[in-house]
Structure 1
Amino acid sequence: MENTFLMWPGGKKWFVRHQSNRLPKDYNRYIDPFLGGGSVYFYMEPREAILSDVNSELITTYKAIKTDWKKLNKILKVHSRKHNDAYYYEVRGQKPREICHVAARMIYLNRTCFNGIYRVNNSGVFNVPRGSKNTVFTGLEHFEERSELLKNAELYCCDFEETIDRAMEEDFLFCDPPYAIKEEQSFVRYSKNLFDWEDQIRLANALDRAKERGVKILMTNVNHKSVRELYENKEGFVLEEVSRYSSISGKKEGRKQYSELIVSANL
């Protein structure tokens, strides 16, 4: 299956393309507490999964695909037919409640906003201007296939620590947290609750507990001294540095090669 249907800040298409050999072949459940665009999940197509994110609209979108992809697809076709400047901002200002309308709005905005950036203000309102792309259907949807796969997944909108604590021996835990370092808050806000340095510390401690339970762990994170120190001081973690390219940025100078940190345990 094509590995995702959303453009997402920090998405893991690059990881699937260049680092998939790191993913385990044998495991019980696949667990992902920072689901985002779900590139690794859709690539692995696990038999059983626990998926979560703090972005409620994102989880609602996955639930809509899981439960009623045909209705979602029909609403998205309406957005595609009506798309223009005025319509984009009309939809951006809406606050639908029914899950398929929430999902169709999110996918439509993701396809037509500036550079695929997902960003909200302090009130949790999506505020990205319209971009130059007019294509709402990209051929990467595969909603029916994704719906079948998601029937084997539990979906939660919750804090990452709650999901990590569900992982048990021989489960595979993939973590791709927002990138925050000790000196500054460098991550673009994608939910009302900004992931900060204290969350990096909580994440390291939660992964340490999971490691002791025999969970198979693979995490990508920002390659920064402060982050490396969180794991270098804990026994059983393997740290490696890799390079990847990021094209999702509001500024041209932000689209470049980045050094990433890969942390693993029990693999």
Structure 2
Amino acid sequence: MNRERTAGKPAGEDGVGIVVPFLKWPGGKRWLAAEHRNVFPKKYKRYVEPFLGSASVFFALQPERALLSDANEELITTYRAIRSRPKAVMDALNRHALKHCDTYYYEVRSMRPTGLIERAARLIYLNRTCFNGIYRVNLEGVFNVPRGTKNTVVLPTDDFHTLSRVLHGAELENKDFEEIIDQSGDGDFVFADPPYTVRHNTNGFIKYNEKLFSWADQERLAAALARARRRGARIVATNANHSSIRELYAYHRFAQRTVSRFSSISATSSSRKQFEELVILGGRR
């Protein structure tokens, strides 16, 4: 018999304690998990996340069962490597740390390793030493972010063995978001945090997202989440607080609320500011 389980096991309960995500990812939701935890359901059968990124919400909730996916194959490969061989990934990252310099960064950026461990360590190394932790590829799929200012490759918070334990109950997929959401069922909790693309946008970063995630994808996502809600899944999604997004989810009869966060994805500190995002809610709480 399928029973709902209490969601997550933060520090002080039965879980492994506080887990710090090992990646810095544009649009990451550490702030949401820390400051707005009340938006997440307290009980569910399985956690489903189709846009995994840095997995901030997953690591905060630590669900016993999860279906995790992302369109970025290198990212999912990295999670699989940490789940199965955490020590080997840590050892490879330490080797990168010993050689780190400007020249070495661009050498690693140009590499195309094929092994599981090497691919994972390369992504983590580049993520920590590139400009602002941005993951961007050109039309040929080649990572092209320049070297940033940070030199710390191995962090004090790194605990890949604990990350491996938390990931143990998760399925990791590299699939389209719609296919993943369509696997959710009654009592599941779907958390969706897509690239923030809006209709008729004028924002440069969102214009870049449009190449990755079109307005048609936004419409497809809203429809998939509505289907999941009809099957009995609980929905929490985040998106740009823009009239086109609000209208799209109002059409599908989702509840909406706005929350504020600080954005650090900007070329200059003077242009980084507090702004609002949209949280979209559906299903039984």
TM-score interval, normalised by the smaller of the two chains: over 0.9
1:22 aligns with one of 9, 18, 39: 39
| Partners of 1:242 and 1:136 in 2: CA distance | 32
1:58 counterpart (56, 72, 75):
75
Question: Map of 1:141-156 to 2, 5 A cutoff?
Answer: 141-156=158-173
User: Residue 212 of structure 1 corresponds to which residue in structure 2?
Assistant: 230
Contact 2:129 2:147 in 1 (8 A): yes
Counterparts of 1:183 and 1:37, CA distance in 2: 28
Name 2:214's counterpart in structure 1. Answer: 196
Larger mean Cα displacement after TM superposition, 153-162 or 19-28: 19-28
Output the CA distance in 2 between the equivalents of 1:175 and 1:3. Answer: 20
Q: Which of 233, 240, 243 is the aligned partner of 2:251?
A: 233
CA distance in 2, matches of 1:17, 1:175: 17
Deviation at 1:189, TM superposition (A): 5.0
Higher relative contact order (CA 8 A, sep 6+): 1
TM-aligned CA deviation for residue 123 of structure 1: 1.1
The structural deviation recorded for 1:16 is 1.1
Q: Secondary structure at the match of 2:206?
A: coil
Q: After TM superposition, give the deviation of residue 193 of structure 1 in Å.
A: 6.3
Aligned twin of 1:246? 263
Q: With structure 1 as the length reference, what TM-score do the two structures score?
A: 0.95
User: Which residue in 1 is equivalent to 2:63?
Assistant: 46
Partner of 1:88: 105
3-state DSSP of counterpart to 2:44:
coil
Number of the residue aligned with 2:241: 223
> Which residue of structure 2 aligns with residue 70 of structure 1?
87
Provide the residue aligned with 2:199 in structure 1: 182
Identify the residue that residue 11 of structure 1 maps to in structure 2.
Answer: 28
Instruction: Answer whether contact 2:198 2:215 (CA < 8 A) is retained.
Output: yes
Give the Cα–Cα distance (whole angstroms) in 1 for the partners of residues 211 and 187 of structure 2. Answer: 31
User: What is the CA–CA distance in structure 2 between the aligned matches of 1:18 and 1:240, rounded to whole Å?
Assistant: 14
TM-score w.r.t. structure 2 length? 0.89
State the partner residue of 1:114.
131
Structure 1 pair 50/89, CA: closer, same or farther in 2 (3 Å)? same
Residue 99 in structure 1 maps to residue 133 in structure 2:
no
Q: Are 1:120 and 1:189, in contact at CA under 8 Å, matched by a contact in 2?
A: no
Q: Deviations over 1:4-48 (max 9, x none)?
A: 111101000110121112111110000000000000000000000
Q: What do you get for the CA RMSD once the two structures are aligned?
A: 1.6
Structure 1 gaps of 5+ residues are none
Q: Following TM superposition, by how much is the alpha carbon of 1:248 offset from its aligned partner in structure 2, in angstroms?
A: 2.3
C-alpha distance in structure 2 between counterparts of 1:217 and 1:91, whole Å: 39
Contact conserved, 1:121 with 1:189, CA < 8 A, in 2? no
User: Residue type of the partner of 1:71?
Assistant: A
Alpha-carbon distance in 2 for matches of 1:250, 1:140: 26
Q: Specify the code of the residue in structure 1 equivalent to 2:216.
A: E
2:57 equivalent to 1:36: no
Q: Which runs of 5+ in 2 are unaligned?
A: 1-17
Size of the alignment, in residue pairs?
Answer: 265
**Cα distance 1:164–1:100, how it changes in 2: closer, same or farther (>3 A)?**
same
Q: What pairs with 1:251-262 in structure 2 (closer than 5 Å)?
A: 251-252=268-269, 254-262=271-279
How many Å separate the matches in 1 of 2:220 and 2:232? 19
Q: 1:253 to 1:202 in 2, by over 3 A?
A: farther
